[in-house]
Chains A and B, each alone.
Chain A
């Protein structure tokens, strides 16, 4: 399949806006429709657009894969910490510790980072495996 200039230009211009929309979905998840999962998938699809249209080297230069792995692991750890924090005060798992938007806001951001990094890593390793076999 021949690569055209249209794909090159559109993917470069469009992916920052998808990234911004993903951040909006994550941070305003407690007010408007959206939330951690949807915003995280939007973040991941912006990175995947770069990966598919520009190649893995361009993605790795601006978003190193080692750091994405670190974000994925940190996201899980922070979610667990925020959940277990309720036990310290004698409350249940994932009970709200901060005043109303606080806990759900933090959980949305953590879930967004985790989902975005996870889906990007899945597709990245799938992509690398296919490239190695040729």
Chain B
């Protein structure tokens, strides 16, 4: 189970770095932090998993989407 989750993390991280569209990369980062929340839950750390799900998938995605929205107008 842990090995499969780590493999998914690796694939998602490579996708985030290599994809061209910034918006898709931000959404993939949110999926990445969702999977790391599942990993923390499997490792018996539910508190850390809740923090990761709330901060990683909620607030940091807000900040990244806001930044992408305000930097793309100057030309891609």
- Would you call A38 and B70 a contact (CB within 8 A)? no
Q: Is the interface of B mostly helix, strand, loop or mixed?
A: helix
State whether the Cβ of B24 lies closer than 8 Å to any Cβ in chain A: no
Find A38's partner among B23, B54, B66 (CB 8 Å cutoff). Answer: B54
- The answer for the CA separation of A126 and B63 in the assembled complex, in Å, is 9
On whether the beta carbons of B51 and A38 are closer than 8 Å, the reply is yes
In this assembly, does A107 line the interface, its C-beta being within 8 Å of a C-beta of chain B? no
A45 located at the interface, meaning its Cβ lies under 8 Å from any Cβ of chain B in the complex: yes
Q: Name the one of A33, A37, A48, A123 contacting B46, with C-beta atoms under 8 angstroms.
A: A33
Q: Is the CB of A41 within 8 A of B66?
A: no
- The answer to whether B47 and A48 have CB atoms under 8 Å apart is no
Give Cα A35–Cα B46 distance, bound, in whole angstroms.
11
Asked whether any CB of chain A lies closer than 8 Å to the CB of B59, the reply is: yes
Question: Taking A126-B66, A127-B66, A130-B66 as contacts, is the C-beta distance between A48 and B58 under 8 angstroms?
Answer: yes
Partner of A33, one of B23, B47, B55, B65: B47
| Smallest Cβ-Cβ distance to A129: which chain B residue | B70
Interface size on B, residues (CB 8 A): 16
Encoded as 1 (CB less than 8 Å from any A CB) or 0, chain B from 34 to 65 comes to: 00000000000011011100110011001101
Q: Which chain A residues lie closer than 8 Å to B63 at the CB level? A: 123, 126
B54 to chain A, nearest CB (A): 4
In Å, the complex CA distance between A37 and B50 comes to 10
Residues on A with beta carbons closer than 8 Å to the beta carbon of B70: 130
> Would you give the shortest CB distance from A47 to chain B, in whole angstroms?
10
Contact at B62–A41, with CB atoms within 8 Å?
Answer: no
Task: Please indicate the chain A residues that have their CB under 8 angstroms from the CB of B59 in the complex.
Answer: 41, 44-45, 48, 119, 123
Known: A52-B66, A130-B66, A130-B70. A34 touches B47 (CB 8 A): yes
7 closest cross-chain pairs (CB), A and B? A45-B58, A33-B46, A41-B54, A38-B50, A48-B62, A42-B54, A33-B47
